[in-house]
Amino acid sequence: MTSHNDAVPAIEVDTVSKRFGSVTALDEVTIDVPRGTVFGLVGANGAGKTTLIRILIGALRTDSGSVRVLGLDPWSDRRQVRSDAGYMPQAPVLYGDLTARENVAFFARGHVSGNTQGSVADALEFADLNEFADRPVYTLSGGVRQRVSLAATVVHHPHVLFLDEPTAGVDPELRRQFWVRFRRLAESGSTMIVSTHQMDEVVHCDRVAVLRSGQVLATATPKELLASGGATIRVRTGDQWDEFRVDFLPNDLAEILHDKGLDPAVTRIEVEGPTLEDIVLELIDSGREEFGGA
């Protein structure tokens, strides 16, 4: 029986490695994901995000290390894990000749016992698909198909969802709508693992793991990542400008202002720092490890 003890993380990955021939897809990856959070797997294509998700849903075995999903082994207990998990792959796996409603109903029957009509209606409503519900999927735009795929993923109200590049190739407004829906799912108690190579999406996650070439370079909250980038502080006193480079903005800025004694002659303070996207890209480019990599 699936464990729903809130004290146990939804996802536990301990020193997991996976190779495909001479290619190391994952190299001793360790992450823990608390329940009810949105956890991002961030990195360029080929970083190992999809491989990790496939291991978490029980589609691949690890070469070494251990994995637990809702307290279960996703490989040996994959039937139980899949009954309580939702998986949305990069490309929607839908039947083009069936309507959106029929596609969602098809996936519901694999998870929901008895009458699925209410569950299907809820999923269509959640993904804002009512106006498209009875149109064949092949007639729908790519963005709407993504919404059908999301509805099919959540129709059985899973406790954990794995979303592999769910916003790839969609316009900015649809991306915003998707993240609003992801947050709603997390607030309802679902745990979400969202992989993305869109660096600006880091801000939407409660916590992220930054991957490169199968290794975790950092795990941190967006706030921690932003603080790690430091900042340049410029203080104007009369006609004189002083410039300071700080590593951790909140504490260092307070110290700078204390040193100035809150002089009334200080009329303007400018703070210039990198964006989250800048920090993540720099982290990936340099390959440096921060926050313990765990």
- CA atoms of 150 and 152, how far apart (whole Å): 5
Classify burial at 223, counting beta carbons within 10 Å of its beta carbon; exposed 0-12, middle 13-18, buried 19 or more.
exposed
User: pLDDT in tens for each of the 294 residues of the chain?
Assistant: 444 556 678 999 999 999 999 999 999 999 999 999 999 999 988 899 999 999 999 999 999 999 999 999 999 998 889 889 999 998 888 999 999 999 999 999 877 666 788 999 999 999 999 999 999 999 999 889 999 999 999 999 999 999 999 888 778 888 888 899 999 999 999 999 999 988 788 889 999 999 999 999 999 998 888 777 767 777 787 888 888 776 655 455 556 665 656 565 655 656 666 777 777 777 777 765 444 444
- CA atoms of 49 and 69, how far apart (whole Å): 16
Write down the residue that tokens 């209606």 correspond to. Answer: 121
Exposure string over 243-282, b if 16+ CB within 10 A, otherwise e: eeebeebeebbeeeeeeeeeeeeeeeeeeeebebeebbee
Helix 142-154 to helix 172-187 angle (10° resolution) is: 10
The CATH fold assigned to 11-225 is Rossmann fold (3.40.50)
Tell me, what's the pLDDT at 197?
86
Which residue type sits at 244?
A: F
Tell me, what's the pLDDT at 241?
86
Tell me, what's the pLDDT at 203?
87
Q: Model's pTM, two decimal places? A: 0.78
Residue 8 CB partners (closer than 8 Å, separation 6+): 35, 70, 71
Tell me, what's the pLDDT at 261?
66
